[in-house]
Amino acid sequence: MEYVLDICMGIVQERAFRNEILKLILELLNEIPNPDYFSIAKCVVYLNEHSMASVILRQLVEKGDARSLAVAYQISFDLYDNSTQEFLQKVRQEIAELVPEAEVEEKQDTAEGDREPKESDPLLEDQSSSSQPRSIGANDDKSKLSSESRAAFKNILEILDGIKSIQLNLEFLYRSNKADIAILNKVRDSLEARNSIFHTAVTLSNAFMHAGTTHDKFFRDNLEWLGKAVNWSKFTATAALGVIHRGNLSQGQKLLQPYLPREHIAGVGGSGSVYSQGGSLYAFGLIYANHGGMAVDLIRDHFKKATEEVVQHGGALGLGVAGMATGDEGIYEDLRTVLYSDSAINGEAVGLAMGLVMLGTGNMRALEDMIQYAHETQHEKIVRGLAMGMALIMYSRQEAADELINGLLGDPDPTLRYGGIMTIALAYCGSSSNKAVRKLLHVAVSDVNDDVRRIAVLSLGFILFRKYQSVPRMVELLSESYNPHVRYGAAMALGISCAGTGLDEAIDLLEPMLKDSTDFVRQGALISLAMVLVQQNEAMNPRVSTLRKAMMKMIGDRHEDAMAKFGCAVALGIIDAGGRNCTISLQTQTGNLNMPGIVGAAVFTQYWYWFPLTHFLSLSFAPTSVIGVDQKLEVPFFKFHSNTRPSLFDYPPEQQVKTEEAPEKVKTAVLSTTAQAKRRAQRREKLQRRESMDIDQTPTTPKVSDQMPDRMETDDTTTKAEDDTKEGEKESGEGQRKKAERERVGYELENMSRVLPAQLKYLTFPDPRYEPVKRVRITYM
């Protein structure tokens, strides 16, 4: 059945037909005596059957055995990874019908007080009996639930809320951070901070390098440099805190409190810059990305009160990221109200945010509003934001988006045609649809607008990332096009589709582009190479070190163009993403589409027009770790085995810091006239000493130098030579022994360790006390 499911998900391209097959597979899986619950959960997510997900979890908990409970927890983690916020909210509501009341009963049992419980007990019983018919396949009486079942449901709610996954990933990234600060310092020193494009480049590099680690030391150590940020550079720098502290839910508000708009003054607030205030709302959204919670209410409140366009811009982006795929009509209405003020600055962000909130819903009313306003407004920025928003609404809708696609591609406005191409990319993402690929290739060679042609080639990466080996062959000729926009699109298509794979064919095409005559093509090639080579070391791919050196050389080259240097700085951040513990992933380990990852990569491509959107790439960073939890959802200490050489998947070596002060002092001394005079004086003294030491030897007195020294020198030299050979043999022996020890195949790893996707197939779990409830496998390799 697993094979049939893989065929259905990977080969069947028509959505309606696939859904029919999945429903049939689901029926067959449920009829099996010992069903594969993980395959059932995969079908349930794809078919959006939230009630069935609740029933499965309820059944597993009611079984009561340890294995079933572990499977229920693992399915809950999978549901959180693969589902939208709207789906998870519905599942939580159905499971929560049991838990709050059960918690009250538990408190009463432990208290054992006769006074208060006597009054409240009957009320609780009435509530439970009246609400029972609404619960999901529940027993007749909720009081029959054991304390173990109640604890299990409470844990499941915590997992479905995402709190547990976020905490575990945050802990792993904080502990394992191996970001090389020397690289950041080199980038900072090489780029002039007063130039806003360079200041933004260093900010982005730092944000990506420390994404999710909570290490903001670089900002704290470089306050003078940070103070040079003005206007939108300040907005981007403040938003970078959201990338660095992503998932830090407990401290997020406290960290951003100094920058957030003050509530008592509508919109403008405190003495801080409006750019810092707008950036802080954007950062707050990034901390709570795809999680929502209290952040949505707080950002929404600030957004509604704001009168400054910059604050509204940041608030809209924050709302979109935090409220992603919630389908919340209230947020949508608030955004639409601001959109109708017809301001170019906030309009672009609002259009994008409307799409993020309604992500994948296919809401026709929202689409009609957006198309109508896109035709009415005169601002290109607003049209672009709305075009991107419409594409996001049709995320993963496939054939359902065809009508909108045809309408947008036939529009005379190139910005709306651009939106039509993005709609193809997002509606058919990961589907490898031949129809979508044909349409993109046709537009790539026929459209009269360079922007549209560029995005058409780039979008191939989104359609084909599940069959990434075919992308280099497809874009090979396009990468040699006379049109630089097409070449750039080809480079980015390779970066998006082959991200984290280290594919040699992709590198073969991207490497020559580093010497392209057009600056933005070099920029795209650098960013794409970083995406392909993320987490690769020299043992996995020997070309990594030379490409890293080329990047470091390019960033320090005074004659290099600003755009290429910007790309280089961003690339150095991406290649060491998340403290060298994250990869870029557009699908989850179960093989489902990674919704935040795809959306993040799609919005990231809009950095071409607007640098602050570069931060969205952090949504596609996935921590590469193995984290095992027990039935109390605690992280136990145990070890597992990796059947590889330790060097194969090790961290890349840190940057060597060269001190150039000593040579400079030597050079100044050589050029000094006094030093030359001293040397001449020394020479004279030596000559005088030699002359005074020449003594006439008498015939009877033999010269001292004629006898002993010869024999002594030979003795010395032979003994020295013997000693040297012995030492050399000893050193070489030790070196060989060390090398043999280092390269021994197989080594132990602790729970919550860095494990790369390519390493998963080499793992074994010899500890009899702990074994994974689900077979560890990677789906995209």
Q: How far apart are CA 205 and CA 339, in angstroms?
A: 32
| Cα separations in angstroms, 538 against 21, 438, 651, 653, 764 | 44, 37, 10, 9, 25
> Do the Cβ atoms of 470 and 479 come closer than 8 Å?
no
Q: How far apart are CA 204 and CA 612, in angstroms?
A: 9
> Do the Cβ atoms of 209 and 573 come closer than 8 Å?
yes
Strand partners, 627: none
Alpha helices, DSSP H, located in 343-433:
344-357, 364-376, 380-393, 402-409, 414-427
In the prediction, which pLDDT does 266 show?
A: 44
Nearest residue to 461 (alpha-carbon basis) of 397, 527, 403 = 527
Enumerate residues 6+ apart whose C-beta is below 8 A from 671: none
575 phi-psi bin (left φ>0, alpha ψ -120 to 50, beta other): alpha
> Do the Cβ atoms of 252 and 284 come closer than 8 Å?
yes
- Give the angle subtended at the CA of 421 by the CAs of 419 and 422, to the nearest 5°: 65
Buried b (16+ CB within 10 A) or exposed e, 17-31: ebbebbeebbeebee
Q: How far apart are CA 422 and CA 72, in angstroms?
A: 37
Nearest residue to 366 (alpha-carbon basis) of 395, 343, 345 = 395
Q: How far apart are CA 399 and CA 515, in angstroms?
A: 41
In the prediction, which pLDDT does 733 show?
A: 52
Tell me the domains of the chain and their CATH numbers: 1-100+146-161 (no CATH), 430-585 (1.25.10.10), 625-651+743-780 (no CATH)
DSSP 499: T
Provide block-wise average pLDDT over 10 residues at a time, the chain (781 residues): 78 82 86 83 85 88 86 90 87 79 44 41 39 41 67 89 90 90 89 87 93 90 88 92 91 88 53 85 92 87 89 93 89 91 89 93 91 91 94 91 92 93 93 91 92 94 91 91 93 93 91 90 93 89 88 87 91 92 89 90 93 93 90 88 87 69 49 75 83 54 44 47 54 53 77 88 85 63 28
DSSP 656-722: PPPP-HHHHHHHHHHH-HHHHHHHHHHHHHHHHHHHHH--PPPSSS--GGGSHHHHHHHHHHHHHHH
In the prediction, which pLDDT does 131 show?
A: 36
Please, what sign has the CA dihedral across residues 295, 297, 302, 303? positive
> Do the Cβ atoms of 394 and 401 come closer than 8 Å?
yes
* First and final C-alpha spacing in the chain: 21
Backbone angles phi, psi at 180, to 5 degrees: -95, 105
> Do the Cβ atoms of 495 and 462 come closer than 8 Å?
no
Joined together, the tokens standing for residue 514 give 């580093």
Q: How far apart are CA 497 and CA 470, in angstroms?
A: 10
Q: How far apart are CA 136 and CA 672, in angstroms?
A: 89
Cα 570 to chain center, whole Å? 13
Joined together, the tokens standing for residue 352 give 């994008």
In the prediction, which pLDDT does 16 show?
A: 83
Q: How far apart are CA 528 and CA 503, in angstroms?
A: 12
Enumerate residues 6+ apart whose C-beta is below 8 A from 202: 184, 187, 188, 191, 193, 225, 569
Q: How far apart are CA 780 and CA 588, in angstroms?
A: 9
In the prediction, which pLDDT does 127 show?
A: 37
Q: How far apart are CA 295 and CA 275, in angstroms?
A: 19
Joined together, the tokens standing for residue 371 give 């198309």
Joined together, the tokens standing for residue 481 give 């096009």
Backbone angles phi, psi at 582, to 5 degrees: -125, 145
Strand partners, 584: 621
Joined together, the tokens standing for residue 563 give 């755009």
DSSP 522-570: HHHHHHHHHHHTTT--TTT-TTHHHHHHHHHHHHH-TTS-HHHHHHHHH
Backbone angles phi, psi at 139, to 5 degrees: -75, 170
Indicate the helix (H) or strand (E) that contains 754. Answer: strand 753-754
The structure tokens 């998932």 sit at 247
> Do the Cβ atoms of 56 and 40 come closer than 8 Å?
yes
Joined together, the tokens standing for residue 458 give 């780039």
In the prediction, which pLDDT does 770 show?
A: 84
Backbone angles phi, psi at 578, to 5 degrees: 60, 40
Q: How far apart are CA 446 and CA 457, in angstroms?
A: 12
Q: Provide the 3-class DSSP secondary structure of residue 346.
A: helix
Q: How far apart are CA 169 and CA 159, in angstroms?
A: 13
Q: How far apart are CA 347 and CA 384, in angstroms?
A: 9
Nearest residue to 471 (alpha-carbon basis) of 451, 491, 443, 444 = 491
